[in-house]
Structure 1
Amino acid sequence: MTNQVGDRRPGAAHIAGLLALALFVSACGTSSTDTSTTSPATTVPDDAVQATTTTTTAPEDTYDGLPVGFTEDGYPYLGDPDAPVSLVEFSDYLCPFCRRHATETNPRLLEQYAASGLVRFVFSDFPLVDLHPTAPAGHAAALCVSEQGAARFWAIHTQLFDRQSEWASLGDNSEFLAGVAGDVGADLDAYQLCLDSGRTAVLVDERVAQARQLGFSGTPSFQILDHRTGEAYDLVGAQPVETFLAAIDAVIAGEEPADADQPADEPNLPFWASEEGLAPDPARPGYNLAGDAYRGNPDADLVVIEISDFQCPFCQRHALETQPPLDDLYVDTDRVMWVFKHLPLQIHPQALAAATAAECAGDQQAFWEMHDLLFERVADWSVAEPDTVLVGLARQLGLEEESFAACVGSRTALERVVEDIYDTSDIFGSTPTFVLLFDGSASVIDGAQPFEQFSAAFDDLLEE
C-alpha cells in the first residue's frame, strides 16, 4: 500500500510536512523522538535529574565573567546559582548538532540570560556510544578536569566542542584529551590519577542512564526548569535561537511555552531531499551534493530515495528480487533517479560495517557494485569480525585493496553513514522505506512490497 506523507505525519500533504522534521529536530540519536520542541509541563520528581539541579553550592570561580560552580549533585553550572530558571543541556561532545548549539546558539543565550541572572545553565553528560564510541572518554576527561575547579571544566568543555574535528576520528584520543587538559591549566598528574580510578567513567554512565530515564534518546536535548513552580519543559534538538528565546521568555514570565511546530506554509526541507541536495556532485561521480549515491537520470521527474539496511532480510529481498526489474523498466531507461540512504538498525550488529564498506567502495566509484554484492553475500559477512570478509569482497570487485582497507579502518566513511542515520532515524523507524518525490509532493512505500506495487505507484505519477 502506498501511503501519502500526510497519512504518516498528520497535516502534512506535501514533502515538507514529513521531511522538514529532519532539520526541525536536528538531533543526534538512533531512535525516534518527539518532534515537538517543547513538552507540557511536568512536576519535577524528587529522584530525577531535574531535582538535582535545583540546589547549588556557592559559586567558586568565574568563567568569561560569569559565576560558575556545581550543583549539590555535581552538575556544573554557569550563571547566577539563584536564577529563577535553569536550562539543563544533555549533550555529547562528538555530536555535530551539539557543537552547532554550543558554538552558535548558546553564546547568544548566555548573553541574553546569564549576565542578567535570569537563567542558570547546567550541563549533563549524554554521550551516544552507538554513534560516537569514543565520546565517553572525552566526557570522563572533562569531569576529571572539573575536580580541579568549575572554571577549568567550562574551559575544557569549550575546547572539546571547538576542536571536535580534531578528535572525532581518533581511535585512541587519550593523548589529545590530556593535551587539552594541560592547555586549560589542569594538573596532569591529578588528572591521570582520576582517569585511572575510573570514577568519572562510572559517573558518565550514570548520567546517560538518567537522561534516558527522563525519556531522552537524542542529543542535544534540554529541560527548562522553573524553580519557582517545580515544573520542567523539554526541548529537543539544536533548535534555532529564536525557539529558545521564545520558550525561555515564556517560562521566565510564568507561562507555558508554546508548541513551536513548523508552519505548514513555510517548509524547511532537509538538504538531502531538496533540489539542491539531489543535484549531482561534480567532484564525486555517482553521488549527489547531499552525499548520497544515486543511479539513473538526475533530471528525472520522479526521484526515489531508498532508506535501507544491508543486514535487513526484507531489504535483501527487495534488492535481489524487486530492484532488478525496477532498474530495467525505470532506472536504466532514465525515467527515475534512484537514491540510496543508509539506516543500519541496531538489531543488525554488522550492518554499520557493511554500510561503511559500501561507502569505501563508492570512493573508488563502485558503490552499486558493492551494494549488490553485500546483499548477495549477507551470510558471509554477518560474522563477529566482518572486516576481513568485506576486504575480500572489495578484492572480488577489483578494487584497490590497500586503500579500501584503510578506508574501512578509518572513521571517514563511517561518519558519512552516521550522517545518514542523523538524517533518517527520527523520521523512519524501519527498513526498507521508499520516499517518492514528484512535482513537489511525496508519497511513501513501506516495506519490501512486490514489483507490481512499485510499478503501479510509479506509473500513476509518471502518467499524470
Structure 2
Amino acid sequence: MASGRTPFERNFKIMAQENSGNPTARLLVIVVVALIAFAGGFFVSNMTNKSGNAGDSGSAAVAPSPSGERGTEGDGTALPIGDSFILGKESALVTVVEFSDFQCPFCARGATTMEQLQKKYPDDVKVVFKHYPLPMHPQATPASYAAIAAGNQGKFWEMHDWLFKNQKEIRNHGDDMKEWAGGHAKTLGLDIEKFNKDFDDPKTHQIVKDDMELGGKVAVRGTPHFFVNGERVVGAKPLAAFEEIVEAHLKEAKSLMKGGVARADVYGKMVAKNFDGGKADNKPSAAKPAGPSVEFIPVESNDPVFGNTKDPLVTIVEFSDFQCPFCSKVVPTVKQIKEEYGNEVRFVFKQLPLAMHAEAKPAARASLAADRQGKFWEMHDLLFEKHREFKSKSADFEGYAAGLAEQLGLNVAKFKKDYNDPAIAAQVERDLKLAGKVGARGTPNFWINGVNLRGAQPFPSFKAEIDKQIKLAKELKASKKLSGDDLYKALVEKNKASAPKAPAAPAAPAAKVDVKDLALGNAPILGPKNAPVTIVEYSDFECPYCKRGDASLKEAIADYDGKVKVAFKHYPLPFHKKAPGASKAAMAAGEQGKFWEMHDLLFENQRNLGSDDTYIGYAEKLGLNVEKFKKDLKNPEYQKIIDADMAQGSKVGVRGTPAFFINGERLVGAQPASKFKEAIDRALKEAK
C-alpha cells in the first residue's frame, strides 16, 4: 500500500478525526473463540484465504489482513476458530473471541476496547468475530449478512466498522438493509451484483445460524461475550480488565513454549485449560438457548391455511403481526413458497399482534372475520399492503376494516358482526398464549416441521430447510407408513431428537473468594482500619439498588461498634452514563477528606446526577475548597482508579451492582440489613 498503513490503521485514523473527543468512536476488533465446529459442519471449512498468503509456518492460525480474511485455526480444539474473519498476526499467542451484535450498543463499546487492546498488543493479540444477533434487535441479522457479503470480497472489517459507526441508523433499515449497506459497499469498490447475491445466499445465513448455535453451546446469553484463550469474559469490560487477562495468558503461553510446546499447539493447550466447558459464570437467562429451537406447533381447525391440508410433507407455521413491517416484507416469500411447493406444503397462519402495535389486534380480528367468508388470504394481503395507514385509522379501525371488506366483495354486515365476535378475539388470545409457550417473542416467526426460522428471511433460507424436510418426510413416510398430522408429529419429534442439545446449566460464582483478590489499595475506608471484618463494596452511584444496598449496609454495621470497616470500589455500569462522573466527584471530595459525605449526597440526590456544576454545588455544601475540587474533578488518574476497580471486580466475579464481599463472602444485590448481619456474624466467628 502506498500509504504504508493497513486499512485498519487508516480506518482508525479517519474515525479518530471524525469523532475527536468521542471516546466511543471505534473499530470493532471483536474476537470470538469458537468451539465444537467439526461435528455438523458449524463452520464452512472450505472457504479459501482470499489473500493467498502462506503466512508464518510456525503459527496456529491464518492471519488475515485487516481487510478481512478467514481463520482456519484450532478446528481440533474444544473452541475452534473455524473460518470466521479474524484480525491480527497469525503468530499471536492470545486469541480473543467475541460474540457480537451490530445493533447492540454494548458491543460498540466492546469494539472500542478491543481496538485499544489489539493496538496495545499488536504482535500478541488476534481477534475473531462471531455473529450473535439478539432477538430484540431485528436489524442485527441482516447487518451480519452485509458484513459477511462484504467479507467475501475482502472488506469485512471495513463494512463492520461502518455498521458500528452508523449503529443508530441500523434500526431504520429493517426493510432495506441490503440496499442501505449496498450503498456503502459501492463506496468500498465492491462488485454490487456479487454483494447482493452473497447477502441473500443461504450459505451466508448459515454462517450466522452456526455462530448462534455455537454461542448457545458455550452458554453465551448476551452480547458482547468474549473468550480469551478460552477464558470467559462477559460484557463490555474496561480495557484494564482485558489487559490483566492478556498479560497472564502471555506469561503462561511463553512458559509453555519454553517447556517445549510448539507455538501451533499453545492455543489448544490453553483452551483445554481455560475453557469452562460451556458453563457460564453469569446468571442464566430465562430465554431459550440461542440457535434454532424445535417445537411442535398444533394446527387448529379454525387456523387460516393454504396448501395441502390433508397430507402435507412439510407444515410451516407462521406467527405474524399485520402492523409489523418485517412481516410485510416476507409476504412475497410466502407466495413464492406456495408457487414452488404447491401440494407438498401446508402453510398455517397464527396471530401474534405485538404490544407495541396498537392496531395489530384489530387487524388480526379483521383477517379472521374475512376468513369466515373464505377471504382470509385476500384480506391478509390487503392488510399488509395498507399497514402503514393503520395508525391514522385507529379512531375507527372497525369502519376502516369494513371498507377493506367491501373492497374484497364481502358481506359487510356479517363482517362487522364477526369482527366483534368474542370467539374471534379468543382465537387471537389463544395464538398469543401459544406464541409465548413456544418462544415466539418477535415477528415474523416460522416453524418448518417444528424447526424455528426467525425473521423476514429471503426465500433461499426457507428453501434450504423445506428441501431438507421434504427429503426427511419422504423417508419417514415410506418407512413408518405415516400420513397427515401423524407424519407431522413424527417429523417434529425427529427434528427434536437431532437438534443440538441445550447448554448445561451454568455454575454459580463462588460463594467466597480469596481476600488476597480483594486488595483495598487506596480505596476509601469507612470504619477503623484494624477492624476484624472488612466489607468490600462494588457500587454505582446511578444504580437505585446500590442506594438501597448502601442504606441496608449502614443500618447493619451500626450495631457492631468498630468491628467492621467498609472499602468502596467504583463499578459504574455501562448503561449508567452519569455514574463515572459521580465517582470522580466522590474521589475529588475524598482529596479533602470528604469522600463519604459526598458519597451520601450523591445517593441522596441520585436523580440529579449529571453536570460538573451539580457536583460543584455539592462541594460548596460540604464546605470544600471549590477551586481545588474543580481542578481535581479533571484528574485523569480517577479514570484509571475506576478501570482498576472494575478489573478487580470482574476478576472476582462481579456481574452487577451492588456486590459486597464480607471477609471474602459474596453477598449480591440490595439485601436487607439482616442478611448483612448474618454474614458479619459468620465473619466474626471465623476471625476468632
- TM-score using structure 2 length: 0.35
Larger relative contact order, structure 1 or 2 (CA cutoff 8 Å, min sep 6): 1
Q: Of Structure 1 and Structure 2, which has the larger fraction of its residues in strand?
A: 1
- TM-score using structure 1 length: 0.49
